[in-house]
Structure 1
């Protein structure tokens, strides 16, 4: 009940929430508690200096691991040839290349042996970014329906995103740490002790708590960054002092400052005022939406961008490049349609996108929100951390509410104008047609299977990740009767400048399980025993990969060393077995979090499947993409559903 000069509240929590919301909506922009999402006692980069370096695996172990990975894929004759080629490589060119790689690593202790090569691999590839590279992640909807309004959710996410960025800039964003035993290490004592340790030994202090700090070097790539196309190799542009964001609506581009002249975050109502102005702008859909050009082959787009800059658009493009990030306001309502959600966040029609930005936060007219991110600058660890932090704040402590009224002050919205001649307009028309044809060739489907979940897998003493991967192998075997190159991404962020390592989930054990399952001649007890073996070996491979003891990145680096030193390309890299293994017919990756509704990406090869998956507390889920001319993702989903049922029956006895 509200009186003349006081508030009487029978529910103390509700009362505090009301006061919090009312006060923060009108916060002064220099209020230090409003400026930052986090104020960590341990500086953001405190552990960076003492992070362990990514190890270069032993050459002979790499050879052994490689042969174990190709064994289930090859017949006896091909495998004998693989053994011969591999052993020859290990004893001859491999030794020379290993010595050179170790020597180079010793003089580059500031980074990892794979970092430069991995950036180069991404930036040199000329394939278009959408579908091929940019993944999607979508947020779970807010439990409070009124907060899923497009303007409210967009403003709250914008505020939280910039607060995250300011915490990062100020080096007070909580460092990313993997806590083996959170009850003992995710504590004030841990933060007090480690913050007092010198940076050079801080990692070792964390290790004594059985906590493992992760590499934070990628986080700077989140904001103020854009991948700019150049002939043969792109570059990543970064503006560490950017104050504005770019907003796309109906193919039009708008910018406005989210920080004032002193670098302080605008108040919530001022942020609302800027976005309200864009939402209420009646400018029709862009007749020539420039964003479609970012869907093209990188060399083609590089030439076109050079022409655009030469014809008076250089400064306008720089405003997009330097923006903190891209906020996309889409006019579709897609709440109940998972197929539409996957298509919208993976590729859409390209008319209201700028795929070159480090990430785009996309919000539909009914408040479904998600991220499409450019992959060269970083991996899932940085993106997921940002994703989880802004989801937590916007759903628990939002700054904007259904009754919030936009302010008129500090509204600096400008709509960007481009100078497009007939040649530029033709670029856009051609890109539209090519992109539509490409997107139409893609098949997307998904499965949510409630007969098994993460907890049930652990109860039966099998790895949930192994069960997912085993189901993918069984589904492919059921459809095609074969075993193929399979890629599972595994983070090596426990090491300085670690990126990812490949885990090879198609093993001799998974092959035996699939053949036994589909032959109908193997008992349930025998299949369960093989499944246990699959799980044990799978967990061992995951551990090896996460500890930098896989073989894929090592072999790739050895191949690059041969190129750098003008050494003839070793025979192994052109062998049947190496090419077969590295043609990733099943390309898989998982990002599990309570804040994630779905994640996915496109096939890596035309004949392949792209599989984004999660083992949830209440179900198993996967989004599958393929090209219609080669595969039907719905057929794979049907086979996957059968595989889940088969596995569930075997586990339950």
Structure 2
């Protein structure tokens, strides 16, 4: 998605960081015999065994990047703009470009502990002063628990909290299995492979795994998954802070906050599902109309400079307020108990993206949100990671949570002793700030259009035609937008570069010349189905090539971004390449897209990145295909309908030609 985180008295180490870089948390190395109640699983290969040996993100050749840029820009600019861009590219190539490339390579060589893009990309997030809500924080909606009794409000929250703590314990003690991309699963998903990898020294471990067809992925982002927060700073970059030895969570219901102990203070062991359930039942015992609706959570919806000033004044007002902030900041995560019961896909998307403003704390690394009807989602702050760690957490969370039995109350009075209301003071100035936050949030909420559309077309149905499913989904997006607006626009699809140390993302520019050719032929009533079918396959094949290039670090967006940063670093006036109207067109994303396919996730969504943008989260699995849209435009519902129709038309085209072959 766009702009596309202590368990026992064991030995520990800590990494240092700059103000912007996330702190790596204390990692426990000594391992005791695991209890099935405490961990998701155990692993033969320690969690971060491959981290030291990961390949470094390559810096593409300058001429390759410039060629890719021209190819990407051609479909969305005028012939005159393209001509000006070609001239600027040539001047850059023959002028300052090679010098900036050499400087970038030298800078990268001096920082072998990370990737050439990582620090700048993190700063890009942390320096943005816009509110996190809608602009950055995405959400992933979980499927319902297959056991109906476990979908009650407190039962669902209990099982998800329990599995979250089990995930945390597994990660914190390095029992979490490393992230691997398996190309020969019949060989590499066996204990023999794990024992083999464990014997290889860490600095060579990746090479040993790759020889068997298993490719380790970067896991540095996991360090900021739990007990982490983004703290606003006035007029400068925000700060990421991670806490060690946190043993509590914060549960939020509208404007009311509670500190809930989840790990024993002495032993570090999990307090148990019964204790969690009893505490949650105490929290939801108050009738909804008696629960305060507006509170400090609204502050986190403000722009970052405003929130930084408010936070400073809030903390200075009283020691109670300082404790309030410290408790939330250091919590393993925040759980939101939402009184709303969303039914439709669009309602769920809005609820889990925005809520009512008061009932979210958008600064936390992630929030676990449980609605009163048992619907649940994870909303996460985006600066520290790109969804790889969150998706792993969400998948493990769901798969583990559905294994739990229905929890039965046991001596509820004794078990609720750790529920601690978190109170805070507000003076007149802060109350005025709260009113402003509420007004701004309501304005954003009213302006944002959220749509959802489902198609019964499945991944299996598309795959049977031996064509890339993601490419087909992207062609459906291009076709739908053209049918609505009769033009082609700058399109963003996020691709992960997690195969490299501290890899982040690369941009897939899916509005290609080949995609344009397919769309034009698809809407041409004079052309045969065979011609349209051939154009579709060419476009999808091209999309597949771009995908491969992107995940291998061979896109052009991040490289050009880094070259621009080098020019700024050296106080060199920005080359014309970066200031032309064509560059502005490319950088103003109109179709911001991201795929989120998982058998455990009902849907995922995120906000538009500007007033003209459509944010489109999509996925295609066994039940069918879904598109989740968000936009400030008033035609989002029309685009949603056209997306479903376009996917159907493409599927019918594939089917008609398959019968002829």
User: CA–CA distance in 2 between the matches of 1:373 and 1:464?
Assistant: 27
Q: Which residue of 1 aligns with 2:4?
A: none
- Residue 631 of structure 1: how far off its partner (Å): 3.7
Rounded Cα–Cα distance in structure 1 between residues aligned with 2:535 and 2:603:
31
Counterpart-to-counterpart distance in 1, 2:149 and 2:642: 39
Structure 1 position 399, deviation (Å) = 5.1
Separation in structure 1 between the aligned mates of residue 368 and residue 497 of structure 2, nearest angstrom: 26
Aligned residue number for residue 532 of structure 1: 537
User: 1:399 and 1:567 mapped to 2: Cα distance?
Assistant: 63
Verify the 8 A CA contact 2:492 2:508 in the aligned structure 1: yes
**Is 1:116 equivalent to 2:119 in the alignment?**
yes
What's the counterpart of residue 143 of structure 1?
146
1:455 to 455, 460, 484: 460
TM-score, normalised on structure 1?
A: 0.93
Measure the CA separation in 1 of the matches of 2:417 and 2:432.
Answer: 35
Q: Is the 8 A contact 2:475 2:515 kept in 1?
A: yes
Among candidates 508, 511, 515, match of residue 506 of structure 1: 511
Do the aligned residues in 1 keep the contact of 2:354 with 2:445 (CA within 8 Å)? Answer: yes
1:239 aligns with 2:243: yes
Match of 1:348 among 335, 355, 360: 355
Q: Which residue, out of 57, 60, 71, partners 2:60?
A: 57
Tell me what 1:610 maps to: 615
- In structure 2, the partner of 1:26 is none
Instruction: State whether residues 256 and 411 of structure 1, in contact with CA within 8 Å, keep that contact through their aligned partners in structure 2.
Output: no
Gap runs ≥5 in structure 2: 1-31, 657-661
Is the Cα contact below 8 Å between 1:228 and 1:237 reproduced in 2? yes
Residue 288 (structure 1) shift? 4.2
2-side partners of 1:625 and 1:33: how far apart? 42
Partner of 2:377: 370
1:588 aligns with 2:596: no
Which residue, out of 207, 212, 216, partners 1:213? 216
Give 1:403 shift.
6.7
C-alpha separation in 1, matches of 2:104 and 2:214: 30
Shift of residue 282, structure 1, vs aligned partner: 6.1
Aligned pair partner of 1:383 in 390, 398, 419 = 390
- Compute the displacement of 1:268 (Å): 2.1
| Distance apart, 1:277 and its partner CA | 2.4
Closer, same or farther: CA 288–474 of 1 in aligned 2, 3 Å? closer
Q: Distance in 2 between matches of 1:156 and 1:98?
A: 51
Kept in 1, the 8 Å contact 2:282–2:416? The answer is no
Is residue 2:167 matched to residue 1:161?
no
- How far did residue 31 of structure 1 move? 7.1
Q: Residue 358 of structure 1: which of 331, 354, 365 is its match?
A: 365
How far apart, in 2, do the equivalents of 1:516 and 1:30 lie? 63
Give the aligned partner of residue 25 of structure 1. Answer: none
Q: Could you tell me how far apart the structure 2 residues matched to 1:379 and 1:76 are?
A: 35
Q: 2:322 corresponds to which residue?
A: 314
Whether 1:647 and 2:653 are equivalent positions in the alignment is no
Contact persistence 1:380–1:591 (CA under 8 A): no
Shift of 1:624: 0.7
- Which residue of 1 is the match for residue 407 of structure 2? 401
Question: Is the contact made by 1:244 and 1:256 (CA closer than 8 Å) also made in structure 2?
Answer: yes
Deviation of the 1:406 alpha carbon: 4.2
Q: Which residue of 1 aligns with 2:567?
A: 562
- Are 2:326 and 1:323 aligned? no
SS of 1:34's equivalent in the other structure is coil
RMSD: 1.6
1:337 aligns with 2:344: yes
TM-score in terms of structure 2 length: 0.92
Q: Which residue number in structure 2 is paired with residue 488 of structure 1?
A: 493
**1:515 is the counterpart of 2:515:** no
Q: How many Å apart are 1:274 and its aligned residue?
A: 2.4
Equivalent position to 2:136, from 118, 133, 136:
133
- 1:226 Cα deviation from its structure 2 partner: 0.9
What corresponds to 2:576 in structure 1?
A: 571
Of stretches 371-380 and 455-464 in structure 1, the one that deviates more from structure 2 is 455-464
Displacement of 1:609 in angstroms is 0.1
Taking the aligned partners of 2:412 and 2:46, their CA distance within structure 1 comes to 35
Aligned position for 1:11: none
Report the CA distance between 1:466 and its aligned residue: 0.6
**Residue 296 of structure 1: aligned partner:** 302
Distance in 2, Cα, partners of 1:282 & 1:516: 59
Answering whether residue 255 of structure 2 is matched by residue 251 of structure 1, we say yes
Structure-to-structure mapping, 1:423-502, within 5 angstroms: 423-450=429-456, 452-502=457-507
Structure-1 residue corresponding to 2:184? 181
**3-state secondary structure, aligned to 1:127:** coil
Of the structure 1 ranges 216-225 and 177-186, higher mean CA displacement relative to structure 2 is found in: 177-186
Deviation at 1:33, TM superposition (A): 2.8
Q: Which residue matches 1:262?
A: 267
Please say if residues 249 and 260 of structure 2, whose CA atoms lie closer than 8 Å, have aligned partners that are also in contact.
yes
Q: Say how many residue pairs are matched.
A: 620
Kept in 1: contact 2:346–2:628 (CA 8 A): no
Secondary structure of the structure 1 residue equivalent to 2:202 = coil
Is the contact between residue 487 and residue 503 of structure 1 (CA under 8 Å) also seen in structure 2?
A: yes
